[in-house]
């Protein structure tokens, strides 16, 4: 895997949407490429900042799951 391939998969990696095989390929590349490691750190930081800014008033995930469960079971 090269830098271009890693770049094309970077967002999928950050979002945990890759297969374990693809993740392993990317990790092998990251072991020898500090440039891609820095880009990955920046992507993760950007995602965290975006999440923090957009979800200031978001309910906790557990509450969302409880409500979803209740609604689904009430429908049946």
What does the block give as tokens for 5? 């391939």
Q: Contact 9/18 with Cβ under 8 angstroms?
A: yes
pLDDT in tens, 32-60: 999 999 999 999 999 999 888 887 777 78
User: Is the pLDDT reported for residue 17 higher than 80?
Assistant: yes
Q: How many domains does the chain have?
A: 1
Full residue range of the structural domain in which residue 52 is found = 3-75
- In angstroms, the CA 55 to CA 2 distance is 35
The answer to whether the predicted template modeling score (pTM) of the entire model surpasses 0.75 is: no
What does the block give as tokens for 6? 């890693």
List Cα–Cα distances, 40 to 6, 31, 55, 65, in angstroms: 9, 12, 22, 30
């Amino acid at each position: 895997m090269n830098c271009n391939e890693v770049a094309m998969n970077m967002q999928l990696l950050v979002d945990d949407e890759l297969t374990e095989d693809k993740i392993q390929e990317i990790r092998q590349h990251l072991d020898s490429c500090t440039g891609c490691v820095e880009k990955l750190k920046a992507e993760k930081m950007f995602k965290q900042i975006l999440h923090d800014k957009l979800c200031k008033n978001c309910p906790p995930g557990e509450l969302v799951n409880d409500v979803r469960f209740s609604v689904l079971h009430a429908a049946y």
